Chain A
Amino acid sequence: MIEVSIYRYNPETDKFPYMQKFEFTPPEREIMVLELLTLLKEEDPTLSFRRSCREGVCGSDGMSINGKNSLACITPLSDVLQKNKIDLRPLPGLPVIRDLVVDMTEFYNQYEKIKPFLQNDQPHPEKERLQSPEERSKLDGLYECILCACCSTSCPSFWWNPDKFVGPAALLQAYRFIADTRDTRTEERLESISDPFSVYRCHGIMNCVNVCPKGLNPNKAIGEIKKTLLLRKESGNELIAKSGGT
């Protein structure tokens, strides 16, 4: 028997959020936290949470599990149980819509701001824009982000300024396009985040690296963006950015 404590809030009926405790007997086999929630939802159909692929690809079920942001679908229950207790809360820093469901508008606004698509001013080639294997390898560790928001919502800088600080997830994607040799709008991309907040509010706390369920390193990408921004006036942006920010 384990004790499951879940953040509950329904703005239509609750004045304040509260923690509801459930007693639960897990099955013999290993289950993920998402399955625990699904089984609890059979007991209490009002319990709300997001889920879709249940295999760590869609990024829908990001939540705070015992204080650490993770994807419920790929987090084994046995890994996170502490003294037979588990605490489930919504991703911190974002407005709660209901129970474990958060309003991700601010997160997506920042993602939209960095223009997460390839921009190329040159004429369209006959077939496709080619890259060498070395150029392509610079995108490894960047393109795999599933936008679960675990990193951005674990970042204090994003908590305090979600409207100004782009956040680790969107900055990882910003660098994915800055580092892409097929993209020709590097200067515009850098200029759009050159203010004191967009990138420079990252103080290297590293929570983003600690929680990323895909094992990515947004902090490294942010460091590369900072380096490119700091050196671009001296040496020419295109050269530095396309050579990998070094």
Chain B
Amino acid sequence: MNGSIIWYLQRISSLFVLTYTIWLFSSFRSFDGTFLGWDLLTSSIVFRLFTTITIISILMHAFIGLWTVGTDYLTSRTLGFLSYRLANYADLIRNSYQILFVFLGLIFLIIVLIVIWI
């Protein structure tokens, strides 16, 4: 993987999240507090598409961040500071950690897509 692509993905995804947050709060200004108003907002195609893109951006951003943390702190070198024995399992621990947050991210994505689109 090219480092520049990761750099761009992280920055662009954060801009999406920021734009979405501003847009969402500005939408609330015209929200009248009724169920109908809420339904109108959340059932619009703009809301659904924008939310989907933002959720994907959040997951991408989180994946890059957590992957960076894992490759910094869950290596044989860093775990070796805690225990020599633990250092032998560094790859296993790091891979398990990555599988865990990818799994949780996918569950989060599926739940959000179901809530928004179905």
Q: A-side interface residues toward B, CB under 8 Å?
A: 156-157, 160-162, 194-201, 226, 229-230, 233
Is A194 a contact partner of B3 (Cβ separation < 8 A)? yes
Give the Cβ gap from A149 to chain B, nearest Cβ, in Å.
Answer: 17
Whether the pair A160, B78 counts as a contact (CB closer than 8 A) is yes
> Hey, which bits of chain B sit against chain A, CB under 8 A?
1-4, 6-8, 71-73, 75, 77-78
Tally of contacts, chain A with chain B, CB under 8 A = 38
Q: Which of A197, A198, A230 has the most CB of B within 10 A?
A: A230
Query: Binding site of B, secondary structure by majority: helix, strand, loop or mixed?
Result: helix
Of chain A, the residue at the smallest CB distance from B64 is A196
Roughly how many angstroms separate A161 CA and B6 CA in the complex, as a whole number? Answer: 18
Most chain A CB within 10 A, of B4, B71, B75, B78, is at: B4
What separation, in Å, do the CA atoms of A29 and B21 have in the docked complex? 63
Given A160-B77, A160-B78, A230-B8, does the pair A197, B72 have CB atoms closer than 8 Å? no
User: Which residues of A lie under 8 Å from residue B3 when comparing CB positions?
Assistant: 194-200, 229
Q: Which residues of B contact A194 (CB under 8 A)?
A: 2-4
Name the distance in Å between B61's Cβ and chain A's nearest Cβ.
Answer: 15
A199 nearest CB neighbor, chain B only? B3
Out of B1, B4, B8, B73, which one reaches A160, CB within 8 Å? B73
Tell me, in angstroms, the Cα distance from A194 to B3 when the chains sit together.
6
Expressed in whole angstroms, the Cα–Cα distance for A81 and B9 within the complex equals 47
Whether the pair A196, B78 counts as a contact (CB closer than 8 A) is no
Identify the closest chain B residue to A200 (Cβ). Answer: B3
Q: Which of B1, B4, B75 contacts A230 (CB 8 A)?
A: B4
User: B7 to A161, Cβ gap below 8 A?
Assistant: no
Contacts of A233 in B (CB 8 A): 4
Please indicate the chain B residues that have their CB under 8 angstroms from the CB of A230 in the complex.
4, 7-8
